[in-house]
Structure 1
Amino acid sequence: MGRFFGSVVGRWREFYRRSSIQMILSLSFTAVAVTGMVFLGLTLFLRFSASNNAQAAKTSQRVLAQVNLNLDAYLRSMMRVSDAMYYRVIKNTDLAADSLDDRMSLLYESNRDMLVSIAVFSQGGKLVSAAPLAPLKKDAAPQRQDWFIAAAGKIENLHFSTPHVQNLFEDPDYRYRWVVSLSRQVELTRAGAIEGGVLLVDMSFGGIEQICKDAELSASGGYLYLIDGDGEIIYHPRQQLIYAGLLQENNLAAAAYEDGSYEETFGGGRRQVTVKTVGYTGWKLVGVVPADNIWDNYGQLLLFFLFVVLFSVFLLIFVNLHLSERISVPIKALDRSVKKLEAGCELEEFEVGGPYEIEHLGHSIRSMVSTLRHLMDDIIEQETQKRRSELDVLQAQINPHFLYNTLDSVVWMTENGRTDEAILMVTSLARFFRISLSRGSNIIPIADELEHARHYLTIQKMRYKNKFSASIEAEDGVEALYTIKLIVQPILENAIYHGMAYADGDGKITVHAFREGGDVVIDVTDNGPGMPAGTVARLLDPAYTAAPGPKGSGIGLRNVHQRIRLTFGGGYGLSIHSEPDAGTRVRVRLPALDGAAAAPYRKEVAP
């Protein structure tokens, strides 16, 4: 999980790094706005859903309350019939002298729309009187009926039975009527003596069924059913299917509910259940509304919500793109100007526009660039002067060094009477310095540099009495290229002093100039004693200074190396390869410059 999260974060960072500021602003504004809209919409939708659920529960409670009132009125009418039969007829009749039949029939006729029958039984279950039917069935046993047993055990209390088929009396029409029995314990008077009995009032179940059936909980599938205190079903719109085992109802669980509304899961679906107790009977009205039917009312609202969200998203995208463009266009213009400046376009004008902060940033950058240009010009001028001074110092170090050694040889020759050789040496020295001066230019053709080296070798061969031979060669076209002056002579000087001093006529120095790609290479090779690796490593180290001796301080090679690097950069200069008893090769690497390419360097060092 952590690796997946890290991968997602890495991809987001890569997308953020590669995206433009306009894209980032547009996506950020749109994401924040859409998130806020969705959150607000969901909050309102959920609140509406909760409110709608509460309203549905209140509607169910109102319907159940109305049904309860109707049932209560219906049951009270039955109770009034029972009370009238008991208190006005039974208590005022002595069965030994009079009969209950006439007044019972009159009471039945007055309420025949709601009644099926009225009957009085003795304590042993013998029929005393009944209306409108009198003969009991031969196999009838009233004393074993639930209503009889319940009434006998609840003196002065009323008992309402569950719906059942009236099966006590012979019916000439052979009709089987569903009834709800209201039974009570009564006192019968016979010859002045009091004996127990049971009054039975059979109500038509159709009245209760009609009251419950007329109730409408929901226009999209809700229903209502009636149970007793033990959960036995009194009425259900699909009662026959339940009795046949083809349908199930959660009536036993509903019997444990207090009055109110509940959410339950039954039969693989969620539904809202509302419970209302029917007064003194202990019955309970149960209203059921499937949750799917409640959500059906949200269809149009949900479609409207989705339409508003989608329309708002498109509107936000359009507005955010326009707004981000207004912000990002000036920034992009500044970015393009900065890139052009990085590319070396010194005259680039910075775009200034957009919001206040961006406009202020543009002015600041433009002012900063102007200041930087002046500072860069000053720095370039200072660096040019510094480099010119450094080159002059290095040149000043080389010329006196060679002049001192050469004049020392001329003095020696003069003192020994070798006047012709001294004249030749002085003549070569004059030509040597003529090339060294080069009319003040530090950049000269390679042909002049090699000519300069020939005059130097002429002087040195005379001084060393031809202990060595020397040759200078150049490939075609190389001599027309340009180099800084006085780079070969110090290398030759080093080769003579350290490689040819002890030669006995067999010393050899070779100078070879050639092209190598875009560079010019000048190799100075001698067959002297060579040097160990440690000495070679120190020769070009600017921090290393050899102790002065009769053969010089060894600054020539380092000066040449520094002059080349100061003029052309770190990719050029000297490299030395030497092995003891195998000779030494010093390689000079320069850029191949023709006259046009050498012009900037010539201007740089002009006095």
Structure 2
Amino acid sequence: METPTILAMFSKNNSEHRHLNTNRDYLKKYLLKLYPRTIQSIILISFTLVSSVCMLFLGMSMYQRFEGRSRQMMTDNSLLMLSRTTDSIEDYLRRMRRISDAMYYDIIKDMDFESEDLSSEINLLYEANKDNLVSFALFASNGDLISAAPIALQKEMANVTEQNWFTTAFNKMENLHFSTPHVQNLFMDETDYRYHWVISLSRAVDLNYGGKPRMGVLLVDMNYETIQQMLEGVNQANSSQYVYLITGNGQLIYHPKAEQISLGIHDENFAQAAGYDDGVYEESFEGEKRIVVVDTVSYTGWKLVSVTPVRNFYLGMKSTRYFVILVAALTGLAMIIMNQLVTWRVTEPLLKLNESIKNMEAGNSDSAIYIGGTYEVEHLGKTLQRSLDEINRLMKDIVIEQEEKRKSELDALQSQINPHFLYNTLDSIVWMIEGEHYEEAVFMITQLASLFRVSLSKGRTIIPIEDELRHAENYMNIQKVRFKNAFVMNYEIDPEIKGCLTVKLIVQPILENAIYYGVKNMDEDGEITLKGYRKDDDIFIEVIDNGYGIPSEKLPYLLTEDKRASKNGSGVGLINVHKRIQLRFGDSYGLHIESEPDEGTKVTIHLPAIPATEENREMLEKGGLRYE
């Protein structure tokens, strides 16, 4: 009975092992089907994954950087706003101190209270400053009222000596003391039954009673509404943050929600804010993160505090976040399309080479050789490699020859300074020096030097439009001196286009044509306008003159090699410019000419709007950017 049992177990184990191997083979075949096996698939997936990761990392980095910069800008704006508000409050308090000083040092110090009355002087000073004051008052050390303005009756129940401003004045007699906002409860005004919220400015003063010194307290009740309106204006102008004012020990002076705080509906972190030095802090209060900016009001020790909840910042970033996501999505889509195009361009030659092996095996000796694969194919490839190398060498020579031919053609078309123009300019400079017109000669030499500087451009053929326009302006400045301002030159250039790239020396030849074949021999004053603007993704530069114009029968041939258009030579420069533009940017760009006899001519230069970066310039120099 034992043997059959062992055989049964062995059979069962073999069955399970075969089943496991079958499942493993099936899984392996399934994974092989999923795994990309063609070169095109591998490159496409690899490029897409790498570019997606890079784009995601770049997008997150740029967003975080933008978020940080935006947050820093908000903080800087808070600092600037707080500094300006502090300056306004300090200026107001400084004026109040000057009023108190004027009352004390100019009036009270020089008065004998035993024989003189303070009423007229205190009323006069009050009238001069009543817009910012509620009252003036002078008290004796026992609390008796000596004088007050405006004229008012002291309340019978008002115990002056127990008032905080009174006791503080005697505690530190050498200083001026600012109180917190409170309702004035000293006087009864028969003409005004309102409650006045004031900030009291008090100081201990020396009083002269017939040569006997006594002590008193000078009280200036400032109108609290002045500071309140100041801070309310700041809060209304900044919806994402709010500002409040406290004393150095955390007592409230102003808060936009002062009523809610007094009723216990709202709370504020006064104690912690009072302990902050001037600067920027991040804190968490009642579960809310916020940015706190503190600035101290000089002399008083008051602290002006700006609070910006972090959630307000992120609400402002919401549209930016959506914009970044949209840009990332569009960029991702563009990259997928670009990856497909690049993959196709990269793998197509390889697929053709693979097909060429089949052609070679079929006996097609004209097909290209692929070295690799089996030993037989590799041996066959090496045997024919010498011939293939020769073919490749010849092909490279052809490519180099064509490139040199293109460069030679471009250099031939790249017109430089007309020797005749240079001769006439130097002759004019000599004439100016001989005629002792030194300033004009210096101006001509300066303009000519700048003209050469742009013309050379360190050997570059692609320059910013700003340099091209400067070159044109230098050229026209020289021509205006040569022709003794026989024409007027106008410039209407949109600054937006100056930061884009152009082929060098395309405006000056057209301006030269406008002078020599347009306005040079006009009886009346000629006028040339150089206009530049951007429209969508294109740039247009127009040279407009009010000269004799071009006959309609010549217009169709101006931008061709047809000699009927250039009997007087005016068409050569235009063809030059037109070809150079099209060599760099494609046939969609170049010149467009409009003209009417006796009405003038307008030549329009059409260019793509390419930002003037070093990378774009180098690619254009190499012929790597085409906008056809």
- Give the TM-score normalised by structure 1: 0.53
Aligned equivalents of 2:300 and 2:33: distance in 1? 73
Residue type matched to 1:77 in 2?
R
1:148 deviates by: 0.9
Q: Is the 8 A contact 1:147 1:159 kept in 2?
A: yes
1:221 deviates by: 2.5
Q: Is the 8 A contact 1:135 1:170 kept in 2?
A: yes
Q: Superposition pairs for residues 130-145 of structure 1, below 5 Å? A: 130-145=148-163
Give the aligned partner of residue 300 of structure 2: 281
Q: Name the CA shift for 1:81/1:348 in 2 (closer, same or farther; >3 Å).
A: same
Aligned equivalents of 1:353 and 1:63: distance in 2? 79
Aligned equivalents of 2:202 and 2:365: distance in 1? 100
1:105 deviates by: 1.1
1:254 deviates by: 1.2
> Does the residue aligned with 1:237 lie in a helix, a strand or coil?
coil
- 1:312 and 2:331 are equivalent in the alignment: yes
Aligned equivalents of 2:381 and 2:306: distance in 1? 85
1:267 deviates by: 3.5
Residue type matched to 1:183 in 2?
S
Residue type matched to 1:294 in 2?
F
Q: Is the 8 A contact 2:292 2:307 kept in 1?
A: yes
Residue type matched to 2:229 in 1?
Q
Give the aligned partner of residue 125 of structure 1: 143
- Paired residue total: 353
Residue type matched to 2:185 in 1?
N
1:202-222 Cα shifts (integer Å, max 9, x gaps):
000001111112225864432
> Does the residue aligned with 1:68 lie in a helix, a strand or coil?
helix
Q: Superposition pairs for residues 451-600 of structure 1, below 5 Å? A: none
Aligned equivalents of 1:365 and 1:32: distance in 2? 37
Q: Name the CA shift for 1:254/1:15 in 2 (closer, same or farther; >3 Å).
A: farther
Aligned partner of 1:18 among 26, 29, 35: 35
> Does the residue aligned with 2:148 lie in a helix, a strand or coil?
strand
Aligned equivalents of 2:87 and 2:377: distance in 1? 88
1:291 deviates by: 2.2
Aligned equivalents of 2:196 and 2:71: distance in 1? 40
> Does the residue aligned with 1:215 lie in a helix, a strand or coil?
helix
Aligned equivalents of 2:33 and 2:226: distance in 1? 75
Q: Name the CA shift for 1:365/1:288 in 2 (closer, same or farther; >3 Å).
A: farther
Aligned partner of 2:285 among 266, 289, 292: 266
Aligned partner of 2:131 among 113, 132, 135: 113
Residue type matched to 1:148 in 2?
F
Residue type matched to 1:80 in 2?
R
Q: Superposition pairs for residues 151-550 of structure 1, below 5 Å? A: 151-172=169-190, 173-215=192-234, 219-325=238-344, 359-361=370-372, 366-367=377-378
Q: Is the 8 A contact 2:247 2:253 kept in 1?
A: yes
Give the aligned partner of residue 97 of structure 1: 115
Give the aligned partner of residue 620 of structure 2: none
Give the aligned partner of residue 381 of structure 1: none
Q: Name the CA shift for 1:351/1:143 in 2 (closer, same or farther; >3 Å).
A: farther
1:326 deviates by: 5.1
Structure with higher RCO (Cα < 8 A, 6+ apart): 1
1:14 deviates by: 4.8
Aligned equivalents of 2:34 and 2:260: distance in 1? 69
Aligned equivalents of 2:112 and 2:329: distance in 1? 86
Percent identical among aligned pairs is 41
Residue type matched to 1:129 in 2?
S
Aligned equivalents of 2:266 and 2:79: distance in 1? 25
Q: Name the CA shift for 1:168/1:24 in 2 (closer, same or farther; >3 Å).
A: same
Aligned equivalents of 1:171 and 1:216: distance in 2? 33
Report which of the two structures shows the higher radius of gyration computed on alpha carbons: 1
- Give the TM-score normalised by structure 2: 0.51
Q: Is the 8 A contact 1:262 1:272 kept in 2?
A: yes
1:277 deviates by: 0.8
1:83 deviates by: 0.8
Q: Name the CA shift for 1:324/1:209 in 2 (closer, same or farther; >3 Å).
A: same
Aligned equivalents of 1:199 and 1:16: distance in 2? 97
1:350 deviates by: 11
Q: Is the 8 A contact 1:330 1:353 kept in 2?
A: no
1:329 deviates by: 6.5
Give the aligned partner of residue 597 of structure 2: none
1:353 deviates by: 13
